[in-house]
Amino acid sequence: MADAGTPPSTPPPATPPPKKGMSTGAKVAIGCGIALIVAIVVVIIAVAAGGMFVSKKASEFAGGLEAQQQSSETIRELEREHSFAPPRDGVVSGDRAERFFDVTDDAWERMEDWIEEMEERGQRIESRGGQAGLGDAMAGLQGFGRSRVALSEALDDRDMPVSEYLWTGMALARAYEALDRPAQQSGIPPENLEIAAENRGRLAEITEGDGDSNSRAVVLAIAWTLASAEGIMHSIPGIDTLMR
């Protein structure tokens, strides 16, 4: 029994549970936002006006059917000629990381104007109570097509298949998320942490974008749509682990 004259000891404050960071998948979703808006608008117009109308209009777009078909073929050809298998140790080489950043920057430069235009259109649509016009849908379809072409061309210029691009992006994003944790506890290869630290600003824009759809995060999202459309996503070894 404690002495009556001794004040009771104060138990130490409970340690708050560690904050859960936003997963890589959630961060990619930020970049997907504007693409999803465009896709939804296109679907609405396609349903209302009929797929035939969209098909006829597609030939008028700079990112139209022929360019889309060429983009798909480029993606498939890159996978055939430069087949990618993630390294067993999970290390992103300096050369691979640099190619990833080069592709991202190149593709972003080609699609930035469209992204800005879509963001402005989105604000106008919101101010009209969410009512999108025919011009909004057509501009969205055109721009979305152009962005896919822009990324496929950037990948082709550097002989980088989209599977390698996505794996590298996810691996570096995971390393970036672990920078503020003890290296020994992260389970991330030290080489990846070093690259992430050296490119902290670039990775912040790609993985976070400060919540802004007008960022390079969109490039990673477009790559996601390309890989999904071509049935490549599920064939990328280790991608599920990187997305956790």
Write 226-231 long-range contacts (CB < 8 A, 24+): 226/71, 226/75, 226/148, 226/151, 226/152, 226/162, 227/75, 227/162, 227/163, 227/166, 229/72, 230/72, 230/75, 230/76, 230/79, 230/162
**End-to-end CA distance of the chain, in Å?**
50
The widest CA-to-CA distance across the chain, in whole angstroms, is 91
> What would the pLDDT profile of 38-48 be if each residue is shown by its tens digit?
444 444 444 44
C-alpha to C-alpha distance for 209 and 110, rounded to whole angstroms: 18
Token pair listed for 123: 């604000």
Task: Count the alpha carbons within 13 Å of 61 in the hemisphere toward its beta carbon.
Answer: 24
190 phi and psi angles, rounded to 5 deg = -55, -35
* Strand, helix or coil for residue 10: coil
Most confident by average pLDDT, 57-61, 140-144, 149-153: 149-153
Of the candidates 144, 119, 115, 118, which has an alpha carbon nearest to the alpha carbon of residue 226?
A: 144
* Strand, helix or coil for residue 38: helix
C-alpha to C-alpha distance for 11 and 24, rounded to whole angstroms: 38
More confident of the two residues 216 and 22: 216
- pTM to 2 decimals? 0.72
Q: What angle do CA 105, 107, 112 make, to 5 degrees?
A: 90
Burial of 86 (0-12, 13-18, 19+ CB in 10 A): buried
Task: Give the per-residue pLDDT at 169.
Answer: 92
Please report the DSSP string for 99-114 in residue order.
Answer: HHHHHHHHHHHHHHHH
Of the candidates 89, 96, 87, which has an alpha carbon nearest to the alpha carbon of residue 160?
A: 96
pLDDT score of 49 more than 80: no
Task: Give the per-residue pLDDT at 218.
Answer: 82
Tell me what the pLDDT averaged over the chain comes to.
Answer: 73
Task: Give the per-residue pLDDT at 34.
Answer: 42
C-alpha to C-alpha distance for 244 and 234, rounded to whole angstroms: 15
> What would the pLDDT profile of 63-117 be if each residue is shown by its tens digit?
456 777 888 899 999 999 999 999 999 999 999 999 999 999 999 998 887 777 7
